[in-house]
Amino acid sequence: MIALGLSAVGFAIDAMRGDELTLVFSVFYFAGCVAAVLAVQQRALFTAIVQPPLILFVGVPLAYQLLVPESPGGLRTRIIDLVLPLVTRFPLMLLTAAVVLVIGGIRLFLSNKRSAPARSQRPRRAATTPRRSDGPAATQPGRQPVSSTEMRTPRTSPQDSDPMR
């Protein structure tokens, strides 16, 4: 909203002064996009980074359609009248997008750098190991004995330990 709002203010000022977008619009557009990438929360950073070309791509033809009266030349002339201002502002869009991308990249880098020590200071969970049990489940067929005493003396059933048999 910051970038769109400031671009609209620049458009309004230029609309009051004449029938063309001037340096005033360009300054408000650039300032709005930079202010937006500096002001947004971390989760909205992607939107702030990708919006400069979108605002210019939609805003400039729309502004010229509202500012400039229709030309009698037909559809081809009308398309040229709408596309030409967009093409001439391509360097502005490129510069703004590059500055916003650099600022957004720095913000992302700094936020990852700040959160990295917090992650490394957390105790790491040990790898889960199977529980050792001295119960009958530990000696089921197909399972390895889990204690050294089980390895030395096999468990027997109560019938096997009866001396009368």
Residue 143: predicted pLDDT: 59
pLDDT for position 165: 54
Domain locations along the chain = 1-68, 77-113
Task: Tell me how far apart the alpha carbons of residues 123 and 38 are, in angstroms, rounded to a whole number.
Answer: 34
For the ranges 1-10, 92-101, 155-164, the maximum mean pLDDT occurs at: 92-101
Percent of the chain with pLDDT over 70: 68
3-state secondary structure of 134: coil
In 3D space, the residue among 97, 85, 79 whose CA is nearest the CA of residue 29 turns out to be 97
Q: DSSP secondary-structure letter at 60?
A: H
The structure tokens 């020590």 sit at 117
Distance CA 31, CA 37 (A): 10
pLDDT digits (tens, 9 = 90+) for 58-111: 888 888 778 777 667 777 887 787 788 888 899 999 999 999 999 999 999 988
Of residues 157 and 40, the one with the higher pLDDT is 40
SS3 state at 62: helix
Rounded CA separation 147/51 (Å): 64
Amino acid at 29: Y
